[in-house]
Structures are given as structure tokens and as C-alpha cells.
């Protein structure tokens, strides 16, 4: 039996940027052709489990609740997609020129305010950590850690490490945590290799032209 492809890709290096990259933004293709991992509320739950922001048990409970309230689930999905666009707009500005999209920040703050009402401090081995409440009917729970991640990154020094992939056509964002901060590609195996192939072909053409 062939397993379904994963919806979550960890190339962003942090939950909020991984979430941004759940839409495969490609500047060389029309918007309507961009592959989107989040076509349904169920996809949002699956993505969250794969990202580690929801447990499988919690996701099953939320899925059952959403099945009984499909309109609410659709509304939550719309909120999730709007939050995704706001995080993208905000952090692309940070990556390109350090600018801040005020409307994007306002939407993130709105979702953050809703999320913080469900935040709590939980005991963990060796200390304490932030956690989220587990109300059975709270089908917006997948949004809480995403909004929290976007806010935490913004007030962190790592904000300066946000980059946009240097590959032609790719608009993915990522955190450059390399030692020399010279990472260029969202995924070396994909965009990095494609760029190397293009450069190799360019050099071959230039070599042939010089020898002509």
C-alpha cells in the first residue's frame, strides 16, 4: 500500500514559515495553478499533526467535532488561509527589505489574541513550557500555535534570519540558521540542485559559444 504524501514540509525551519510554505508559491506560474496542501479543514488537521503542533488523538477529536459543524470548519479554514497570507506578507517584507506590512501584523495580532486565551504553562521534565488548552469544541485550535509561532519569531533576534529562496520562481521562506548565514535555497535537494543544473547548462552553452 502506497502511503499518502506528507502535507507538511519542514524547509521553513519554524512552524509559522512551514505553514506559509504549505502553499507552493511559484512566481513563474499563475496563482490558480499553485499547489496548496490545505484544501480542506481535514488537511489543516493533518498538516498540524505532521508539524507536531497537534497530537493525533487531539486531531481525531477535532475532526469529529468539525464533521458535525461543517460550516464552522469551513470558516476556520478561511481564517487559516488568511493567517497564512498575513504571515507571508509580513515575513516576505522582513526578508526582502526589513519592511513591515501593517495590515498583516494587525491580522496576526487578532489571531494571537484569540490564541492567547487558550495558552497555559504546563510542567515538563526539567521545568515548564507553554502549552494549549484542549477544549473539545475548539476547532480553531490548529491556528493557535501558528499565530504564537509568528509572534514569537517577530520579537526574536531570529527575525533577521528570515530569507526568501533564491531559486528562480520559488517564493518559499525559511530561517537561515547556518553558521555563516549564507544559505540560499529553501531545499538544497530541490531548488539547490535545479539551480546547479541551470548554472551547469549555462556554462556549457557559454563554453560552446566561445569555441564557435
* DSSP letter for each residue of 84-107: HHHHHHHHHHHHHTS---HHHHHH
φ, ψ for residue 100 (rounded to 5)?
A: -125, 125
More confident residue, 193 or 33: 33
Q: pLDDT at position 136, please?
A: 85
pLDDT at 77 exceeding the cut of 60: yes
Give CA–CA dist 194/171, Å, rounded: 15
pTM value?
A: 0.89
More confident residue, 191 or 79: 79
C-alpha cell at 190: 530541490
Least confident of 29-43, 47-61, 143-157, 193-207: 193-207
pLDDT digits (tens, 9 = 90+) for 93-148: 999 999 999 999 999 999 999 999 999 999 988 899 889 999 989 999 999 999 99
pLDDT at 153 exceeding the cut of 90: yes
C-alpha cell at 152: 514569537
Q: pLDDT at position 197, please?
A: 46
C-alpha cell at 17: 514559515
Radius of gyration of the chain (CA): 20
Average pLDDT over residues 25-34: 88
The secondary structure of 117-151, three-state, reads CCEEEEEECCEEEEEECCCCCCCCCCHHHHHHHHH
Among 153, 13, 26, CA closest to 91: 153
Q: How many CB atoms lie within 10 A of CB 110?
A: 15
CATH node for 10-211: 1.10.3300.10
Mean pLDDT of the chain: 90
Buried/exposed 151-182: b ≥16 CB within 10 Å, e otherwise: bbbbeeeeeebbbbbebeebbbbbbbeeeeee
Give CA–CA dist 57/51, Å, rounded: 14
**Domain positions in the chain:** 10-211
Buried/exposed 73-82: b ≥16 CB within 10 Å, e otherwise: beebbebbee
Q: pLDDT at position 26, please?
A: 87
Q: pLDDT at position 27, please?
A: 85
φ, ψ for residue 28 (rounded to 5)?
A: -95, 10
Cβ proximity of 165 and 172 under 8 Å = yes
Give CA–CA dist 142/46, Å, rounded: 10
pLDDT at 179 exceeding the cut of 70: yes
pLDDT digits (tens, 9 = 90+) for 13-25: 999 999 999 999 9
Amino acid at each position: 500500500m502506497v502511503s499518502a504524501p506528507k502535507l507538511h514540509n519542514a524547509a521553513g525551519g519554524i512552524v509559522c514559515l512551514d505553514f506559509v510554505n504549505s502553499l507552493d508559491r511559484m512566481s513563474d506560474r499563475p496563482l490558480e495553478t499553485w499547489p496548496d496542501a490545505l484544501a480542506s479543514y481535514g488537511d489543516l488537521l493533518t498538516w498540524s499533526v505532521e508539524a507536531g503542533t497537534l497530537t493525533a488523538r487531539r486531531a481525531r477529536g477535532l475532526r469529529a467535532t468539525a464533521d458535525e459543524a461543517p460550516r464552522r470548519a469551513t470558516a476556520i479554514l478561511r481564517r487559516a488561509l488568511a493567517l497564512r497570507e498575513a504571515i507571508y506578507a509580513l515575513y516576505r517584507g522582513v526578508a526582502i527589505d526589513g519592511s513591515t506590512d501593517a495590515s498583516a501584523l494587525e491580522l496576526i495580532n487578532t489571531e494571537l489574541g484569540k490564541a492567547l486565551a487558550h495558552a497555559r504553562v504546563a510542567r515538563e521534565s526539567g521545568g515548564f513550557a507553554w502549552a494549549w488548552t484542549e477544549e473539545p469544541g475548539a476547532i480553531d485550535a490548529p491556528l493557535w500555535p501558528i499565530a504564537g509561532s509568528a509572534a514569537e519569531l517577530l520579537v526574536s533576534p531570529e527575525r533577521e534570519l528570515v530569507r526568501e529562496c533564491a531559486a528562480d520562481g520559488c517564493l518559499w521562506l525559511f530561517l537561515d540558521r547556518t553558521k555563516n548565514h549564507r544559505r540560499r535555497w529553501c531545499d538544497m535537494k530541490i531548488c539547490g540542485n535545479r539551480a546547479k543544473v541551470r548554472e551547469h547548462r549555462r556554462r556549457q552553452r557559454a563554453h560552446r559559444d566561445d569555441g564557435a
